[in-house]
Amino acid sequence: MPPNPPALPDAPLVAGPEAMLCFNLYAASHAFIRLYTPHLERLQLTYPQFLVLLSLKDADGQGVGSLGAALGMETNTLSPLLKRMTTAGLITRIRSQEDERRVVVALTEAGRARAEQAAELPGCIARDSGMSEQSYWQTLETLHLLRAQIDTAAQKQKGGV
């Protein structure tokens, strides 16, 4: 684990939201979604549906709970999304015979075909954003580390530590 971050100065050189990591991640997230939108519209997908398809493409037949955990979505957010995707013919939701509390989500043939198309989008976005391959992988690694650090801090707060 890397050392603790440097102490922030009392008066940052840049004031306001621009000096905040969370604001810049928020703004970058919105910018990415704007960049994805024309590609997703062509596939008739929302961004969360896109994420579900990619997750199921990598590991089809996931439980709703594990799918939600992998995508950082609560069940009450994921369930209506999955219902719409079922209606659209992209996925099936089947109650497990071993444990009736567990619902297994799987791609249909149409969903699998759409997932294959969706899997091409990250490369298009990297190209459209002008990122080099090296910059892409460095940024991804930095974001993974940041997410892990934030998750750890949130767990400590939750535990009262």
What is the CATH classification number for the domain harbouring 110? 1.10.10.10
Torsion angle in degrees (nearest 10) through CA of 50, 39, 142, 62: 10
Average pLDDT over residues 16-33: 90
Mean pLDDT across 68-77: 93
Q: Is residue 53 part of a domain?
A: yes
Instruction: Kindly state whether residue 158 falls inside one of the protein's structural domains.
Output: yes
Record the pTM.
0.82
Structure confidence at residue 13 (pLDDT): 61
In a domain, 13, yes or no: no
Inform me whether the pLDDT recorded for 16 exceeds 50: yes
Lowest mean pLDDT among 29-43, 95-109, 110-124, 147-161: 147-161
Q: What is the pLDDT of residue 122?
A: 87
Are 50 and 71 in a shared domain? yes
In a domain? residue 25: no
State how far the Cα of 31 lies from the Cα of 116, in Å rounded to an integer.
24
pLDDT at 10: 57
Range of the domain at 152: 129-161
- Residue 108 burial (C-beta neighbours within 10 Å; 0-12, 13-18, 19+): middle
Burial zone of 107 (CB within 10 Å; 0-12 exposed, 13-18 middle, 19+ buried): buried
Q: What is the dihedral of CA 26, 29, 30, 31, to 10 degrees?
A: 120
Q: What is the CA radius of gyration of the chain?
A: 19
**pLDDT tens for each residue of 59-69:** 999 999 999 99
Instruction: State whether 114 and 158 are in the same domain.
Output: no
